[in-house]
């Protein structure tokens, strides 16, 4: 077994990878999709179902730069050939909704350097900043109520019975369904957007935090009791410090959740933020800009999660699971 | 109670006899009276404990042994106040106890150190609950950590300690709260044999040096004899006191005594109580099927 141990490591269930392999495979998780994208974009005949006209030849309605289906192009060229007119020329192309990587990179660069074409348009970073403030405001408001409530529900059976059945019911109601109501109550600006993200996050948050709190090892509470801890001391000196790292991990996941509600929330009332940017650019068929915006959201999400995970290791040096993840 | 049937070394060794006489003169710390415990279950009630009566004297070391499932943990949890009794009562220094409190320290079989606190802060926990100032709690805690020999690890988190070290901290943490009695539920059960032997020696050393009464649960007969003044033997279904044995092995104890006649006689007596010889012993034999011709030149097949 030991002679080919190294090469078979990645086939063994739940065995840690050596550092070099770990890094390599992490890198591959990003490089592989980009590689596929590049192949599809730059190597013709993998996909390229369209033709972009470079020279209309004898076809009346063809124009330079025009994009059309390969079959249409082929029938037209055949027709020209049989009528012995000038043949049209074109290069294979992908549909407009799949821009090539270099186009997206260029769009990304342009969006930060050149002013928007229309006056009503926002800079990409302005839209982004608006979205970020909406998400974080909603998440903050949800957390300051849901986290303490969840901890109390997870600690005291009476609080749990009083709260959780209703929360359990409410979380099945789709948050976007409250859109019209939220607009009626809170106006058309950021109010209803924050409300939707709040509704989408809050009820899940209470239940998740309560469950996490319930997972605290009961014997820790018993040990504290035999050491003379009483009522509130148990809550503040055992329950809360005991669940804090798990709770922090929950919050990281829930923050991602809040982001997914953003897209729906921003379509309510007056469109705004990154969603408005994306829908607007899609309408003008600037799909390179659309991809650039989506890409940036991904990067923001990933970066903030990495920062939070690093911070978690600092905050909870005693927690071995957070030191691994 | 039945008279002891083992050859009585109590009579042969006056030192041991004097020790027990003196012990029984001491104050009674814990007095357990007619204690019973029933658990509700699908088919009616299950009696986990029935009519438990015993006392522990000041600075006595009492072990409780019995087959697994006989109610040892239930007993100690009731004494600690973590479980309520169905009948009977528990007196500590003559006063009935209800609910858990720092006057009865507890060391559990599993590791129950607070993982978010350093060794020092774990030991300070009980002191701070009782309103000690941080400075006082800290210096007090350091003394207990010294006592269990872990001063180098005072600022480590429990996760960085070995199993034996964790239990030493747990002992220090329980003792720091100044309990009248230390309750221990198979505290060394999860440790390897070597560490366990070391821990037993440690515990005896600690017990010798401070004013503490210990009630120690184990299912290891040798451990019980090595540690205890008296051994409370429980039997299962329902958990009842089988017998209370006085251990005549002289103190201070050391591992050499494991083969002394007193030790072996006590061991034999406990063995008989816990594993009574029965007629249907044959049932215990494994239904062995020979799949292969296992015989060889060393151990021929029949
Ligand atoms: N909370 C409980 N509910 C129901 N039955 C229990 C409970 N705790 C213990 N028991 C039962 O009481 C008996 C004694 O258990 P325990 O005290 O843990 O035994 P021991 O520690 O001697 O192994 C067992 O039969 C067990 O199933
Ligand atoms: Mg037990």
Query: Number of C-alpha atoms within 13 angstroms, CB side, residue A10?
Result: 8
How many contacts does A have with B, using Cβ atoms within 8 A?
72
Q: A197-232 pLDDT, tens per residue?
A: 999 999 999 999 999 999 999 999 999 999 999 989
Kind of pairing, strands B213-217 and B230-235?
unpaired
Distance CA A303, CA A324 (A): 18
pLDDT at A59: 86
Q: Residue A271 — pLDDT band, cuts 50, 70, 90?
A: confident
Distance CA B132, CA B129 (A): 7
For ligand 1, say whether the CB of B261 is within 6 Å of any of its atoms: no
pLDDT at A194: 94
Asked if the C-beta of A234 comes within 8 angstroms of chain B's C-beta atoms, the answer is no
| B52 CA → ligand 2 middle, Å | 17
Please identify which residue in the block is written with the tokens 């290891």.
Answer: B220
pLDDT at A325: 46
Query: Model pTM?
Result: 0.85
For ligand 1, say whether the CB of B218 is within 6 Å of any of its atoms: no
Which distant-in-sequence residues (6+ apart) come within 8 Å of B113 by Cβ? A223, B119, B122, B158, B166, B169, B170, B173
Q: Is the pLDDT of residue A102 over 70?
A: yes
Q: A233-245 pLDDT, tens per residue?
A: 999 999 999 999 9
Concatenate the DSSP letters of all residues of A282-319 into one string: HHTT-HHHHHHHHHHHHHHHHHHHHHHHHHHHHH-TT-
Cα-Cα-Cα-Cα dihedral sign, residues A285, A286, A291, A296 = negative
pLDDT at B239: 84
Average pLDDT, chain B: 89
Residues of chain B with pLDDT under 70: 1-12, 277-297, 299-302
pLDDT at A108: 87
Q: What is the CA radius of gyration of chain A?
A: 28
Average pLDDT over residues A112-141: 85
CA A195 to chain centre: 19
Mean pLDDT lowest among A98-107, A138-147, A152-161: A98-107
Question: Is B116 within 8 Å of A319 when comparing Cβ atoms?
Answer: yes
Q: B41-52 pLDDT, tens per residue?
A: 898 899 999 999
State which ligand 1 atom lies nearest to the alpha carbon of B70: 22
Concatenate the DSSP letters of all residues of B110-177 into one string: S--S-TTS-HHHHHHHHHHHTT--HHHHHHHHHHHHHHTT-GGGTTS-GGGS-HHHHHHHHHHHHHHT
Q: Is the pLDDT of residue A133 over 90?
A: yes
DSSP structure class, residue A62: -
Kind of pairing, strands B28-41 and B44-57?
antiparallel
Tokens of A103: 């186009």
pLDDT at B4: 45
Q: Is the pLDDT of residue A265 over 60?
A: yes
Average pLDDT over residues A37-49: 90
Please identify which residue in the block is written with the tokens 């009616």.
Answer: B44
Its ipTM equals: 0.89
What distance separates the 2 farthest-apart alpha carbons in chain B?
75
Average pLDDT, chain A: 88
Asked if the C-beta of A3 comes within 8 angstroms of chain B's C-beta atoms, the answer is no
Contact (Cβ atoms closer than 8 angstroms) between residue B64 and residue B234? yes
With an 8 Å Cβ cutoff, the interface of chain B facing chain A consists of 80-82, 100-102, 104-106, 108, 110, 112-117, 125-126, 129-130, 157-159, 173-174, 177, 183
Distance CA A292, CA B300 (A): 80
pLDDT at B302: 54
* Chain B nearest C-alpha distance from A224 (Å): 8
């Amino acid at each position: 077994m030991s002679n080919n141990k190294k090469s078979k490591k990645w086939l063994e269930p739940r065995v840690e990878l050596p550092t070099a392999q770990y890094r390599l495979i992490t890198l591959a998780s990003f490089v592989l999709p980009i590689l596929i994208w590049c192949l599809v974009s730059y190597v013709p005949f993998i996909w390229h179902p369209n033709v972009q006209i470079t020279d209309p030849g004898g076809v009346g309605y063809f124009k330079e730069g025009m994009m059309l289906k390969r079959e249409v192009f082929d029938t037209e060229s055949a027709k020209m050939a049989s009528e012995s007119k000038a043949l049209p020329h074109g290069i294979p192309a992908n549909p407009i909704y799949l821009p090539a990587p270099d186009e997206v990179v260029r769009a990304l660069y342009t969006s930060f350097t050149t002013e928007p074409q229309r006056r009503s348009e926002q800079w990409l970073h302005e839209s982004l900043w608006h979205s970020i403030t909406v998400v974080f405001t909603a998440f903050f408001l949800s957390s300051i109520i849901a986290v303490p409530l969840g901890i109390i529900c997870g600690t005291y059976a009476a609080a749990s019975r009083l709260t959780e059945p209703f929360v359990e019911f409410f979380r099945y109601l789709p948050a976007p369904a409250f859109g019209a109501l939220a607009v009626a109550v809170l106006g058309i600006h950021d109010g209803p957007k924050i409300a939707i993200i709040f509704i989408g996050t809050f009820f899940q948050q209470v239940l998740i935090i309560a469950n996490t709190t319930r997972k605290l090892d009961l014997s820790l509470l018993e040990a504290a009791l035999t050491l003379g801890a009483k009522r509130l001391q148990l809550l503040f000196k055992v329950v809360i410090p005991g669940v804090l790292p798990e709770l922090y991990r929950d919050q990281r996941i829930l923050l991602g959740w809040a982001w997914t509600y953003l897209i729906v929330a921003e379509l309510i009332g007056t469109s705004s933020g990154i969603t408005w940017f994306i829908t607007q650019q899609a309408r003008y068929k600037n799909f390179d800009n659309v991809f650039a915006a989506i890409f940036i959201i991904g990067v923001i999400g990933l970066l903030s999660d990495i920062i939070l995970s690093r911070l978690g290791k600092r905050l909870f040096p005693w927690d071995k699971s957070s030191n691994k993840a | 109670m039945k008279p002891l049937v083992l050859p009585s070394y109590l009579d042969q060794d006056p030192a041991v006899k004097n020790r027990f006489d003196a012990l029984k003169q001491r104050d009674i710390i814990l007095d357990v009276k007619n204690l019973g415990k029933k658990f509700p279950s699908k088919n009616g009630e299950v009696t986990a404990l029935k009519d438990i009566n015993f006392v522990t004297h000041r600075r006595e070391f009492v072990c409780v042994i019995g087959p697994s499932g006989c109610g040892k943990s239930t007993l100690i949890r009731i004494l600690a106040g973590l479980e309520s009794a169905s009948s009977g009562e528990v007196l500590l220094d003559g006063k009935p106890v209800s609910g858990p409190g720092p006057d009865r320290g507890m060391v559990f079989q599993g590791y129950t150190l607070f993982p978010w606190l350093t060794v020092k802060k774990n030991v300070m926990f009980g002191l701070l609950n009782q309103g000690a100032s941080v400075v006082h709690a800290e210096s007090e805690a350091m003394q207990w950590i010294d006592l269990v020999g872990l001063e180098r690890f005072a600022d480590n988190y429990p996760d960085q300690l070995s199993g034996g070290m964790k239990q030493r901290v747990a002992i220090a943490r329980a003792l720091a709260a100044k309990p009248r009695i230390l309750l221990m539920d198979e505290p060394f059960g999860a440790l390897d044999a070597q560490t366990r032997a070391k821990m037993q020696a440690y515990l005896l050393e600690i017990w010798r040096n401070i004013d503490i009464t210990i009630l120690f649960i184990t299912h290891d007969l040798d451990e019980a004899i090595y540690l205890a003044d008296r051994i409370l033997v429980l039997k299962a279904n329902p958990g009842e006191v089988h017998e209370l044995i006085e251990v005549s092995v002289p103190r201070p104890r050391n591992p050499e005594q494991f083969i002394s006649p007193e030790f072996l006689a006590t061991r034999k007596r406990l063995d008989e109580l816990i594993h009574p010889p029965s007629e249907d012993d044959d049932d215990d034999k494994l239904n062995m099927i020979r799949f292969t011709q296992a015989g060889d030149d060393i151990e021929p097949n029949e």
